[in-house]
């Protein structure tokens, strides 16, 4: 599953996830999202099996916020963690 994290300043009024934005995100292949926040930054985590974050970055910037205020993080690595079996 592809993933991207969009970071915008906390006080940015441009962050919008209304029905039209969600419809367009779905059109990009996004099936799941999470919104994270601290005092300085709002993070939007986007995921989807058909989502291509590298090809969609410019569109995401226009959809979600003012492009000059946003940073986009793309995964370098992704792995699953399994419990360790003790065979002693």
SS3 16: coil
First-to-last C-alpha distance (Å) of the chain: 36
Tokens of 82: 């399994």
pLDDT by residue, tens only, the chain of 88 residues? 899 998 888 875 656 788 988 999 999 999 999 999 998 888 899 999 999 988 888 888 777 766 677 788 888 888 888 888 777 7
Q: Is residue 41 part of a domain?
A: yes
Q: Could you tell me the residue range of the domain that residue 62 belongs to? A: 2-73
How many structural domains are present in the chain? 1
Comparing C-alpha atoms, which of 44, 45, 49, 39 is closest to residue 16?
Answer: 44
pTM for this entry: 0.79
Q: Is residue 58 part of a domain?
A: yes
Q: Is residue 82 part of a domain?
A: no
- CATH code of the domain in which 54 resides: 3.30.70
Burial of residue 77 (number of CB atoms within 10 Å: 0-12, 13-18, 19+): exposed
């Amino acid at each position: 599953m592809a993933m991207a994290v969009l970071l915008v300043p906390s006080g940015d009024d441009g962050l919008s996830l209304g029905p039209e934005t969600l419809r367009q995100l779905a059109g990009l292949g996004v099936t799941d999202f999470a919104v994270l926040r601290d005092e300085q930054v709002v993070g939007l985590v986007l995921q989807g099996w058909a989502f291509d974050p590298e090809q969609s970055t410019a569109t995401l910037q226009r959809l979600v916020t003012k492009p000059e205020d946003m940073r986009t993080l793309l995964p370098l690595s992704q792995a699953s963690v399994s419990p360790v079996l003790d065979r002693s």
